[in-house]
Structure formats: structure tokens, C-alpha cells
A and B are shown apart, each in its own frame.
Chain A
């Protein structure tokens, strides 16, 4: 099992609600660092791309760019209703929808705002997906941890 998920968090057109919950998941009450999570802020160091909020004209390129900069294997996690489907803003003229309009999304975490518990569950699930992708990529069991 992957034990060291490093996360990059990008906030699309969200309301902040999910972002602060993502941050809250890092803080003492929830402390996702228990699972080895580090919020790196640097796509080149990241394993999990965590997106909150929907995609619009302007951040489309940013999301694509971050995704491309991340080395394989990588998992994309859409957190919150906005990132899953566009949510309550789906009908806004400037909202294209969830990030799955631009990049492949591996995991959808619902909630408005997504609770830190949901985010933790999501991260745990993302780890399994990551491990699967790694196996596929290297075709071998992990160098033993």
C-alpha cells in the first residue's frame, strides 16, 4: 500500500467551502498527516491532485498544466459537489462543469462542503487507486516498505 501520498490542492471556481475543509483535514482535529499526507503545493512532488470547485474558462489551462507537470503514477480526486458535477453553479454561464471536462478524474468525493471525514475517506481510497496504477506502470510489487 502506498504510504506516502503527497497532495497538490487546486481550487477551481469554488466557494472556498471545500478548500477550507481540505485545509481543515490537515489540522489537528483530522490530521491527515497520519497517513503520510503532505500538502506540497508543488505539482512535481505530488501524487494526488485534489481539486475543489468547478472548471471555468480561465482555470482550465491551469488544471491541465498542473496535471501534466505531475510525474506518474498520479491520482486525481474531485472534492465537493462543485468538482463532481459543477454543483449549484452548474448553470452559470462561465462554468464548464467538473474537472473531468479537462482531465481524467479518478475519484469523486461528494459533499457541499465535503466534510473532512469524507476527504479522509477519499484519500484512503485514492491510495488504493494509486497503488493499482503503480503496479500497472512498473509491473512489479512495490520495493518493499
Chain B
């Protein structure tokens, strides 16, 4: 466990923490900059930024659409890192992306084309260059939805070397043995997946959340709950159930996609969510499942 972790500190110090997700480049990198700064002002304690990948198998329709918009706007890893460099926010930043994006960055892998000499040596896929560049831009951590603990060793090693956190997801289906395996590699916080399925705003807090939090109690790492959190009231319930933070994504992207005044609305939403979380922390009696 990386005890110097900037992320862990941010959660503990701002307990209960609000963690927000936006897809970088949706609808443009300039706008993402303004949105992220608004969330920061509104009370976000940690900010996840999605680097869009063409096959977002873990996302529901809302984030899929955001990713498509970001790709159509020409969001590349390099521009993503430039955005991160540019951002002026207090909250630590994490990148959320799929493993292939991490592997290919700087690998020199090029599809065959008329210009490429087929015999020219290529580096194999390697997470190193990505992590190096992420550290350079000041990113504090990485979340990879399609990288289970079993396949994480190379990325874990690269993150350790550069002092980045690697956040793992704990699912409702994760059993005891797997939990140990995951927690032995996790850093920053445990991303507690509130329910089976994909990302997306939903109207209630599932019983799976309570179960997961209970199972995680013995591990000394902050627990943040995501997947389906959309309102201050959810945030309250989740924190009341024992979480150290709530993660909100799709509900924010709905604002990006639909609002006429997204900057103001994002700031307000962050404020509402943070308020809800805080109400949960101050509740007289933490509910037991």
C-alpha cells in the first residue's frame, strides 16, 4: 500500500469524498477543461478523466456516447496529456482508460502502411511509456476497467516506479479469495462497484453496495462507491452505509450532453453531491445491512 498516496490523502482529508468522472474531449478538450474546473470548484475531491477508447465494454450508453463524441472530436492520448498539463485544479487527477490505450502509447506500433518498412523494429506493447508520461503531467493514478488483478503486474510495476496509484474495482461478484488478490495490489482507493452491469445513472442504491462495503471492512483502504450514483440523496445513503467516498460519472455526462449552462450546472451538481455525502457522514447511526 502506497501510504504517501496523494489520492488516499485527498480522500481521507476530505472525508467523505466526492469523486467525479468526465470523458476528456467531450465535446472538446477546451470544454472539458472548463467542466473539470467547475467540478473542482463545486467540491470534487478527486477527478477521474476518461481517455476515450473505441471499445468501451464496461460503459453504459451514457458514457459510450460521451466517448464517441470525444473520439469524433479527435481526442488522442497526446492531447489528453496536454489537457492534464493545462488543468488548474486542486483535486488530484486520475486517468481512466482501457488497457489497450495504455499498452500502445509510445510503443511505436504502427499499422502496416505503404510508408512503414515492415522490417523496421517495433517495441512490443508496454505500459511504461504511458505511465511515465502520466507521471510527468502530474496524474495521481490510473483506473483500468478491463484490467483485473491477474493481468495487472506490468502496470502495477510501472506505477510503483513512478509513484502513481493503481485503482482496482471490486465487483458484487468478487468473492473472498479474489478480494485478497485485488487488495494486495490496489492503491489509492477501492472502487466499489455498486451493482452488476455497466456504468450509468440509476434511481436507487443496491443492496450489493452494502454487502460489498461489509466485505471490505477489514481492508485498510478508502472505499468509494460508483456505478449508478446520480443524486445527493444516493451519496448520503452510500456514505451512511460506510463508504469513504462516492463516484459520479454518468449523471455529470448527462449535464455535459444536455445542459445549456453546463459549467454552472456541473458546479451545482458537484455541490449537491458533496452535500449529500456529508449528510451521510453526519448521520447519527450508520445503518447496518
A and B form one complex? no
Residues of A within 8 A of B (CB): none
Residues of B within 8 A of A (CB): none
